[in-house]
Structure 1
Amino acid sequence: MKNIISLLFFSMLFFSCEKKEEKPMEIIEKTPVIIKEYGYAIKDYTVIKDTIRSGESFGIILDRHHVMYPTINKIATTIKDTFDVRRIRAGKPYTILASKDSTQKASVFIYKHDKINATIVDFADSTITAYRYQKPIKIVEKSISGKIFSSLSVAMDSLHINPGLTNTIADDIYPWTLDFYKLQKGDEFKLIYEEKYINDTVFAGYGAIKAAVFKHKNRNFYAFRYLADSTKGLIDYFDEEGDILRRQFLKSPIKFGSRISSSYNLKRRIKHYGYRIKPHKGTDFAAREGTPIMATANGVVTESTQRRGNGKYVKIKHNNTYETQYLHMRRQNVKKGQFVKQGDVIGWVGRTGSTEGRHVCYRFWKNGKQVDPFKQKLPAAKPLKKEVKVHYLAFIQSLKTTLDNIEITKTKSDSLEIIAQN
């Protein structure tokens, strides 16, 4: 019995000490991540990033990166219809993709127009190409609201909104229906707009303003962005009834940021003339010298000349009813007989003629008589067709509901009260 127990003990010891069979190790091969920029695998190049300096040209830059001038001339000639190398500007960033050998010779030139857009010039081999490149962007819808106690600019600045968005509101959406120089304390606004992001985090500017409403003098001024004609790609802003906001005439020949320094006044008294009544049949918009002056409507230039009191000026005939005139320019940008469109730059603010300050005197004729443009019921642009209007009213329904439900929380401040909603 004792022998049997000993045998069992040694058997157990033998099996417990037996080396266990190990499974073969599984090797997982990971695919290397290829980092690309502007469509190129960065690891294959020597990457040189720089900024164009004052006095530098396309040729100077490529020559510095070991491209011979005959090749540079060939590149410039080949791509001239796509990219005019003479138009590169100091201060713009660029990237050179060069070979990784000892020569580090450039083979790709990337000119960055902004954070999103670039022009790529590829001359790596015998084929020379140039094309526009746009970084993938993410569009994020945002909303803001506020109550104005000073001005729109101050309110938007306090929301940390770039002036570009403010100018779009004033110059592209409401220039026909709202006078932003006359907004009142307590006026309210709400916006639904887009922000652009690169790689989900880098802010790259604003997209479209999809909807807006301004409450001014207890009246709501709605604006909805809508593609009215898909065949022509015409996008405009319309109100809640489907009426177009755009009018035949702009309210001002100067973009948002100027001010009215003298209004139309037939009983104006001037100190320089002994306080005698001297009618002022124009509206003066004060602005810095060199500020662009725009045609307030489509028309044909009938005068572009200079006279003693008017200084350098332009006069435009819009149709058989309306004419406009723009005085005291530093320089004109149009000639007699030229057709101009609404918003075209026809000259620049100056102080030529009889004037004490830098401004443009804007004069307005109706049926041959000078009138105050701000007291005229100016014609609207072409309205929506009936069948399109039905689609439009259905399209804005959810937008209007979202807009109306944005709350304005009142938080008192010395100059305004605003609230941002994301």
Structure 2
Amino acid sequence: MYKICLALLCPFIMVFSCQDNNSTTENSKVEKTQVAKAPVEKIIKAYGFTLNNYNVINDTVSKGDFFGSIMDKHGVTPSEVYEITQSIPDTVFDFKRINVGKPYTILKTKDDSINKPYAFIYEHNKIDYTKVFLGDSIYAEKAKKPVTVKKKTASGVINSSLSLTIDEAGLDYMLTNRLADIYQWTIDFFRIKPGDRFKVIFKEKYINDTIYAGIKSVDAVLFEHEGEPYYAFEYEVDSLTGRTEYFDEKAKTLRRFFLKAPVQYSRISSRYSPRRFHPVQKRWKAHKGTDYAAGRGTPIWSTADGVVIKSSYTRGNGNYVKVKHTNKYTTQYLHMSRRAVKVGQRVKQGEIIGYVGSTGLATGPHVCYRFWVNGRQVDPYKQDLPDAEPMPEAIKPSYFEFITDLKAELDQNFIEDKAQVANSSL
């Protein structure tokens, strides 16, 4: 009888037990819900401020905007704007140089019933900015966003052009200009051929370790052009000014007395020739210059230091400039849209002397570059032109020590790849 009663009671005990457990779990959930903490507000910091403490307005300078009009939108009166601009010198922040497209931020304190700006932050570029404090004390501070520098290595084989190769590799297009600048005295970038290749060691800047902010420096390059290797290493030659120059693996400067071209990397549309069909005059005649096609308004620079001896206009030349460099060398630049120098003015190598146009006998925008040696017009590409000032002997030992690891890094794989290509062609 006892066993029968126990058997009949067990189901009730089990049911009761299960119900009790469920009830406990539900109560536990309620308790957990009740004691759950409110989410912690994420602290946001920028420009040296904790932004959580302010009402933040982010905007961009629009066409027609100026400091006064921006302040007017946020309740700052013209008299207050005048006081602000008079309190801060132009050397710290020039209120007249607020440019269209530049981002700015306005901070307003949350406990301020007047709701006027406490600070105006203007970004000059991705890194540099100025903070203008508009509270009881009016002043401004220049500052920089935290920047980290990362070392990079890249290489490529040219199929059509250097710029396209760099673009296809996902690299900053400015690297093209950097390489063109480095080799502007030694490599004719208008004659680059498919199969030419390069390897470059450079440094990039990143804001807050994540946002790309451009190229900081190009430390070393190996550019192989027509099978010939051209090394370039950046080295400080003046510790007082921090001036650097590029030298090759033998400590020979890459600079020359003359630049290879008078315009930024573009293309040669017509070369020096004793006989060419003139596209305007429709007859055969000598073409004693080299034509560089470039967009209208492209800066034209002097290929060497010198003195301007002509800056004028003729029916054939259009706007043109002629520069005397030494008693031996003279250069001339034709078809400018406008000239930027006057007769008697001394110019430095790379200084802008005019802008590309199509004045005179020209069918399209280009600069015709002419070159004289001892009063005779010649093809500059066939001249053995002098180098610039060489590296001082005293710093050569430290230079060779400096480039040892860089050169080894450039040669690694690059030389091996070349050997593999040579072996496969046997």
TM interval, shorter chain, is 0.7 to 0.9
Q: Does 1:190 align with 2:196?
A: no
- Give 1:271 deviation, angstroms: 6.3
CA contact (8 A) 2:262 2:300 kept: yes
State how far apart, in whole Å, the 1-side matches of 2:97 and 2:413 are: 45
State how far apart, in whole Å, the 1-side matches of 2:404 and 2:416 are: 24
1:51 to 56, 60, 63: 60
Report the equivalent of 2:146: 136
Report the equivalent of 2:361: 354
Report the equivalent of 1:288: 295
Report the equivalent of 2:188: 179
1:365 to 372, 380, 400: 372
Identity %: 49
- Give 1:307 deviation, angstroms: 1.1
| Change beyond 3 A, Cα 1:228–1:90 | same
CA contact (8 A) 1:145 1:408 kept: no
For residues 305-344 of structure 1, the C-alpha deviation after alignment (integer angstroms, 9 at most, x for no partner) is 1111111111112222221111111111112222222222
Moved more, 299-308 or 39-48: 39-48
2:271 to 253, 263, 273: 263
Residue 59 of structure 1 aligns to a residue whose secondary structure is: helix
Report the equivalent of 2:239: 230
For residues 224-252 of structure 1, the C-alpha deviation after alignment (integer angstroms, 9 at most, x for no partner) is 01111112321111100001101121111
| Change beyond 3 A, Cα 1:120–1:319 | farther
CA contact (8 A) 2:119 2:135 kept: yes
State how far apart, in whole Å, the 1-side matches of 2:386 and 2:259 are: 11
Structure 2: 5+ residue stretches without partners: 1-39, 422-426
Residue 181 of structure 1 aligns to a residue whose secondary structure is: helix
Q: Does 1:397 align with 2:415?
A: no
Structure 1: 5+ residue stretches without partners: 1-30, 411-416, 418-422
TM-score, normalization by structure 1? 0.85
CA RMSD of aligned residues (A): 2.1
State how far apart, in whole Å, the 2-side matches of 1:352 and 1:271 are: 14
Q: Does 1:208 align with 2:217?
A: yes
Q: Does 1:121 align with 2:128?
A: no
State how far apart, in whole Å, the 2-side matches of 1:146 and 1:254 are: 25
| Change beyond 3 A, Cα 1:406–1:85 | farther
State the number of aligned residues: 377
Report the equivalent of 2:249: 240
State how far apart, in whole Å, the 2-side matches of 1:275 and 1:222 are: 44
State how far apart, in whole Å, the 2-side matches of 1:203 and 1:274 are: 52
| Change beyond 3 A, Cα 1:122–1:336 | farther
TM-score, normalization by structure 2? 0.84
1:321 to 311, 328, 353: 328
Per chain length, whose mean CA-contact separation is higher, i.e. which structure has more relative contact order (CA < 8 Å, sep 6+)?
1
Report the equivalent of 1:111: 122
- Give 1:288 deviation, angstroms: 1.3
Residue 74 of structure 1 aligns to a residue whose secondary structure is: helix
Q: Does 1:80 align with 2:72?
A: no
State how far apart, in whole Å, the 2-side matches of 1:267 and 1:228 are: 46
State how far apart, in whole Å, the 1-side matches of 2:374 and 2:389 are: 22
Report the equivalent of 1:18: none
- Give 1:406 deviation, angstroms: 3.8
- Give 1:408 deviation, angstroms: 8.4
